[in-house]
Structure 1
Amino acid sequence: MDRDNSSRTVTVPTCDHGPVTVWEPDWCTGCETEHQPGGYHVDITHASRDYGLTVSTSRGTPVVLRACFEQRPFAEHPPGHVPFMNVETDGDWHPHSSDDLRRLSEFLTAHADRLRELADRLGGLTNAFDAAKGTTPGAANPEKGRVS
């Protein structure tokens, strides 16, 4: 287990094993929601701060992708006892290994490339619209007078 140079421990009261003292990684925020006092032994979780991707929009700056380090030292199911990165997509959290994160970054890079292509296309559409002075195909040309 990578101990991140930490010598901290934390004692978490559990409903099934009483007080459980565990090593706490340096990256763990240590708040009660991660350690779940009064919960079950297998539910003890270490979690880091969120690393979020925020984007500027006309309606604010939402977080579209959040990630945090996480470890579940007594987990009985995958991802097991080792630290992993938990990534929120589409409203749900998904455990990622370092290889999974690399694949995700490749997908995000490809998507960024596609968005640049779409931005270029939108620029062309906007320029064509401006060149037609905002008229739509088949509409009367206001410079030629009114149609009765």
Structure 2
Amino acid sequence: MSDHGNSSRTVTVPTCDHGPVTVREPDWCTGSDREHQPGGYRVDITHASPDYEFTVSTSRGTPVILRVCFEQRPFTERPPGHVPFVNVEMDGDWHPHGSDDLRRLSDTLTTHSDQLRELADRLDDLTNAFDAAKRGTSASAKPEKGRGD
């Protein structure tokens, strides 16, 4: 992905409050009408990259669990300000993240991953106990190898 500073593209967006506004467009910006909506307010001009989707395979398909994109709002007065950031979609809402925020999110997801592994181990224990109860044996009894159970 190219750096914003290398961009030579510009886009002129007609706005209702400042007339035509010409801005330098980052190389990663899709330049779609969603970001450069003619007739909107200058403060609403947004640069956005294509979405990056983080998926997981399940027995029912491959759902998107996180969706992220680079974004920049060159005229906003609200946080995160004029600098590029990563917008992360979680639970149907978008959350702006700086690089430190992304690292904290990554750490949190790693912790959740560890917790899921612990739950998988617990599920193995529960499944083994259930199977043993069905066979009428103790949950701690190991099945004999080669018996075709």
Alignment TM class, shorter chain as reference: 0.7 to 0.9
Tell me whether 1:45 sits opposite 2:53 in the alignment.
Answer: no
Q: Tell me which amino acid in the other structure corresponds to 1:81.
A: H
Unaligned runs of 5+ residues in structure 2 are 137-149
Taking the aligned partners of 1:108 and 1:65, their CA distance within structure 2 comes to: 11
Structure 1 counterpart of 2:11:
10
Mapped contact 2:4–2:28 kept (Cα < 8 A): no
In the alignment, is residue 71 of structure 1 matched against residue 79 of structure 2? no
Consecutive unaligned residues of structure 1, counting only runs of 5 or more, are 136-148
Letter in 2 for 1:28: C
Q: How does 1:55-94 map to 2 (within 5 A)?
A: 55-94=56-95
The CA distance in 1 between the partners of 2:44 and 2:84, in whole Å, is 14
Matched, 1:109 2:110: yes
* AA partner of residue 83 (structure 2): V
After TM superposition, the score normalised by the length of structure 1 is: 0.85
Question: Secondary structure, in 3 states, of the residue corresponding to 1:35?
Answer: coil
Structure 1 residue 130: deviation in Å? 1.5
Alignment root-mean-square deviation, CA? 1.5
Cross-structure match for 1:119: 120
TM-superposed deviation, 1:71: 0.2
The code of the aligned residue for 1:133 comes to K
The one-letter code sitting in structure 1 at the alignment partner of 2:87 is: N
CA drift at 1:113: 0.7
Residue 3 (structure 1) shift:
2.5
- What is the CA-CA distance between 1:58 and the residue it aligns to? 2.3
- Partners of 1:60 and 1:95 lie apart in 2 by 28
Distance 1:48 1:89 in 2: 17
Distance 2:119 2:93 in 1: 28
Deviation at 1:14, TM superposition (A): 1.1
Distance (whole Å) between structure 1 residues aligned to residue 32 and residue 15 of structure 2: 15
Pairwise CA distance, 1:129: 1.1
